[in-house]
Structure 1
Amino acid sequence: MTQLPVLTLEEITADWLSEILQARVVSVTATPIGTGQVGATYRLTLDYGSGSGPSTLVIKLPSNDPLSRATGKSHMTYIRESRFYQLFAGRKPMAVPSHLYIAFDEDSHAFTLLMHDLPQHRAGNQLVAATLREAALAMEAAATFHAGWWGDPMLDKLDWLSGTRAVPPQLDIEAIYAMFWPAFCDRYGERVTENMRTVGEAFVGRINQWSESRTGERCLTHNDFRPDNMLYHLDDPAKPIVIVDWQTVGVGTGAGDIAYYLGTALDPETRKVQERALFDIYLDSLKANGVTNLGIATAWDDYRRSAIAGFLMGVTASMVVGQTDRGDTMFLAMCERSAAMVLDHRDLAIPS
């Protein structure tokens, strides 16, 4: 793989962009966008003088927050996203941004990701429950990248993917959760609801048991599949939804991404009524994308066993990224919605 130089925001100059775009850029300005906790994303506005080219681009860099940046390196989130764009994006039909440049530094884990902008798309918002139309689009989008590498043994040869079998697990998830759960309760106090406490306590000492209970065909998974990581333009027939933030990309069961999304994106009552219909949209989309060895009953059971996924992310991620008011509200919402899902499916969702 060609080693391209990593650039800082200050090095994204008009001259450098002129070389990338093969068009004379006169000036460029950067404006922060997005709500990411681990990455820093900017919209670049380009002036061509008398020439022409894309008026805006998007660039993503490591976080400016030292704690979040250290987390990005230690948890391998920066290498995962960089390698995803180097090895997967654009290789098969997927609802992902088109990128112009991707560079990664092995030592520091600094990276530079330059992408085409989608100015007509709006960002999803984790704090506002998704609509059924948005949820259906998410089901279809997940099926594209799950199907693209469905059961592909190559995935387990990549030691940078989350959940890979190429190397032993680098983190003791059982111990991490046992440490973070009481810290989560201490931080948020009375904001931790009864449902959250019931579910949180039920998984202390049972994370590995839960993980080993999940079956199903392994595939490429996003692992943070929720509205904040989606862009929508419902009137765009080509790309009504685009999935971003591939920092947690890994290998796992596709039903896990679906449970994560439906458990964190929908309000619990809507999810309870609509989840089977939305799951069926996902299954139909898998088939439309060429998956033939699909056990429907097994997939549904694995979806139910995966109900805790969003809760685990809410607890652990809140403890390792820079704390913000929005972040606190978001993590609590994820945990509360996911806790309701776990309790709705407790016969399979909670290890016995």
Structure 2
Amino acid sequence: MPQIDLIPTPTDINADWLAQHLGRSVSGVTAKPVGTGQVGATYRFLLADTDPDARGQASLPGSLIGKFMSEDPVSRATGIAQLSYVREVKFYQTYGNTKPLPIPLARYAAIDEASHEFALIMDDFPGHRPGNQLLPATLEEAKLAMVAAASIHAAWWGDAGLDTHIWLNGSHAASGMNVDALFEMLWPAFCARYGDQINDQIRATGQAYLGRINAWISQRAGPRCLTHGDFRPDNMLFHEGDAAHPIVIVDWQTAGVGNGATDIAYYLGTALTPERRRTHERALVHLWIDQLVKAGVPEADTQSLWDTYRRDALAGFLMGVLASMIVAQTPRGDAMFLAMCARAAAMVEDHGSVGLI
């Protein structure tokens, strides 16, 4: 990627900027906000070619996606405090472009670590449909998600270098967070905000985990690998007719190091209805494991992954509660977080996850 100077804003991404930084000659650029992200601002840049040959020379498509700091002050403050912006840029600078993964190719990734202003310019997939957390995932989408997760998890399976990065969630080099204290502070606010929208299962799950989340985190077993951390439909793009990219995983602001089964529990617990999950979860988890082995993960490393999956049903519930309280409130966000909590709470009960701590 090119040498970094001033961090561009969305309005800076014009023909001159593309020519200077990406070597792309265009006659014009049109920017349009896209996506439903609550921590970052995402734009699609439509490019009008001046020289048709330039597209082939620069290997660039007719549109690009750009991510920048959120324009909402609450969400922006959250992104800074949680290192979300630093984490995503560092992910692409360190890992994202180095191996064939089901993710967008980053053309430009820059951040000012003092202010956290950043710009991330990536390949676009305009023909893909975005996943939707409010619409339960189909079985075919879930299968694609399992295969994609396996390729990501297997890529740096057991790589000790992951734990040298202070910006990766869960890294041994990073400062630990007292999640119990954070949950105990935000859980009453969550209950107060959503009131009778919280069913008995959600309420019982939250109460059961009070004072137990740090223990859950500290007892997570290996082998360790790169994890997404927010592995759900809103962060996926689908196109079953695209053999090369049937699924694309986006939004790496929560990238971390841990057990890949946590990503799987997060996804199946929040993306599927409880009924569909109960019917298909064993087959889907085994599909993920089979893909790990196919990618070179030793079979011995997969023996306890089902137990970790059951134990980590909390992952989606915890994100639903905490994220809802620290990003800008929107009607869609409220519906999404409540759906995540309801589905994950059902999974916690199904697997007796509290008792596995």
* Aligned-residue offset at 1:4: 4.2
Q: Does 2:301 match 1:300? A: no
Q: Which AA in structure 2 matches 1:265? A: A
Q: Which AA in structure 1 matches 2:182? A: I
Percent identity among equivalent residues?
54
* Rounded Cα–Cα distance in structure 2 between residues aligned with 1:314 and 1:250: 18
* Aligned-residue offset at 1:167: 3.3
CA contact (8 A) 2:9 2:68 kept: yes
Partner of 1:41: 42
Q: 1:184 to 1:269 in 2, by over 3 A?
A: same
Partner of 1:345: 351
CA contact (8 A) 1:4 1:104 kept: no
Q: For structure 2, list consecutive stretches of 5 or more residues without a partner in the other structure.
A: 56-60
Q: Does 2:224 match 1:225? A: no
CA contact (8 A) 1:80 1:161 kept: yes
Q: Does 2:187 match 1:181? A: yes
* Rounded Cα–Cα distance in structure 1 between residues aligned with 2:62 and 2:155: 32
Partner of 2:337: 331
CA contact (8 A) 2:223 2:301 kept: no
* Rounded Cα–Cα distance in structure 2 between residues aligned with 1:116 and 1:211: 35
Partner of 2:156: 149
Q: Does 2:84 match 1:77? A: yes
Which of 139, 143, 158 aligns to 1:132? It is: 139
* Aligned-residue offset at 1:50: 5.4
CA contact (8 A) 1:216 1:298 kept: no
CA contact (8 A) 2:261 2:308 kept: yes
Superposed counterparts of 1:1-352, under 5 Å: 3-49=4-50, 51=52, 53=55, 54-169=61-176, 171-346=177-352, 348-351=353-356
* Rounded Cα–Cα distance in structure 2 between residues aligned with 1:77 and 1:150: 23
CA deviations on 1:198-246 (whole Å, 9 max, x unpaired) are: 1010000111122233213111000000000000011111110000000
* Rounded Cα–Cα distance in structure 2 between residues aligned with 1:63 and 1:341: 32
> What SS does the corresponding residue of 1:113 show, helix, strand or coil?
strand
Q: 1:3 to 1:23 in 2, by over 3 A?
A: closer
> What SS does the corresponding residue of 1:160 show, helix, strand or coil?
coil
* Aligned-residue offset at 1:286: 0.3
* Aligned-residue offset at 1:168: 2.9
* Rounded Cα–Cα distance in structure 2 between residues aligned with 1:254 and 1:167: 19
* Aligned-residue offset at 1:351: 4.9
* Greater mean deviation of Cα atoms: 129-138 or 3-12: 3-12
CA contact (8 A) 1:202 1:350 kept: no
Q: Which AA in structure 2 matches 1:150? A: W
> What SS does the corresponding residue of 2:137 show, helix, strand or coil?
coil
* Rounded Cα–Cα distance in structure 2 between residues aligned with 1:203 and 1:350: 10
* Aligned-residue offset at 1:17: 1.1
* Rounded Cα–Cα distance in structure 2 between residues aligned with 1:131 and 1:120: 19
Q: Which AA in structure 1 matches 2:47? A: L
Q: CA RMSD in A?
A: 1.4
* Aligned-residue offset at 1:273: 1.1
* Greater mean deviation of Cα atoms: 86-95 or 12-21: 12-21
* Rounded Cα–Cα distance in structure 1 between residues aligned with 2:234 and 2:130: 7
CA deviations on 1:242-261 (whole Å, 9 max, x unpaired) are: 00000000011000000000
The number of equivalent residue pairs is 350
* Rounded Cα–Cα distance in structure 2 between residues aligned with 1:251 and 1:36: 23
* Rounded Cα–Cα distance in structure 1 between residues aligned with 2:7 and 2:260: 33
